[in-house]
Amino acid sequence: MGHQTAVSSYRAREVHGCGPFLFREWVSLGIQRWKSGLYQYVNGIAKVMINGKVAYINNNGKILLKTAYTDAGDFHQGLAWILSNGKVGYIDTKGKLVIKPSFEPDYGMVTRAGDFQSNGLAPALLNGKWGFINKKGVWVMKPQFAWVRSISPAGFAVVGVQ
């Protein structure tokens, strides 16, 4: 078996209406449990752990990308956040670092960092304040909020000022 195949047998199915999940019914190539043990597919890609590092597989179990990171997010709008040396940055689907790790992780969040939305913006944390960045990592709305929710396609966001 080559390193291109991540699983010898798998089953993707709906779980409580939450989308397809990959059930851990196999042991192959050192793929380890991801947090809850279920791998949720987001845009046809599931995040898994291989030898303690984040990797991504497709619906057929083929490894699409191995990373050097121990924590990372799902791909949204072509980018996924990564955690490197305690800072958040973003990679593209080929694994290229496109936004240098310079933002703070939010350990109170399940995902550590904001995902890019259809409008090309993501919430980001710096010096304890939230703002919004574009896909180049440039601040579109400078960090000034105590907390934020994702910004809508129309450009509106719910934010906390205290």
pTM of the model: 0.75
What pLDDT does 110 receive? 61
Neighbouring residues of 140: CB distance < 8 A, sequence distance ≥ 6: 121, 131, 132, 133, 134
Question: pLDDT tens digits, residue range 114-161?
Answer: 889 888 999 999 999 999 999 999 999 999 999 887 777 777 888 888
Task: Check pLDDT > 50 for residue 23.
Answer: no
Percent of the chain with pLDDT over 70: 73
What pLDDT does 47 receive? 85
Question: pLDDT tens digits, residue range 103-125?
Answer: 999 887 666 778 898 889 999 99
In the predicted model, what is the mean pLDDT of residues 76-99?
A: 94
Comparing C-alpha atoms, which of 65, 98, 66, 103 is closest to residue 84?
103
Neighbouring residues of 144: CB distance < 8 A, sequence distance ≥ 6: 129, 130, 131
Residue with the bigger pLDDT between 104 and 11: it is 104
What pLDDT does 59 receive? 76
When pLDDT is cut at 50, 70 and 90, the band that residue 87 belongs to is very high
Mean pLDDT for the chain?
A: 77
Q: Which two tokens mark 27?
A: 């042991």
Range scoring the smallest mean pLDDT among 34-38, 83-87, 132-136, 145-149: 34-38
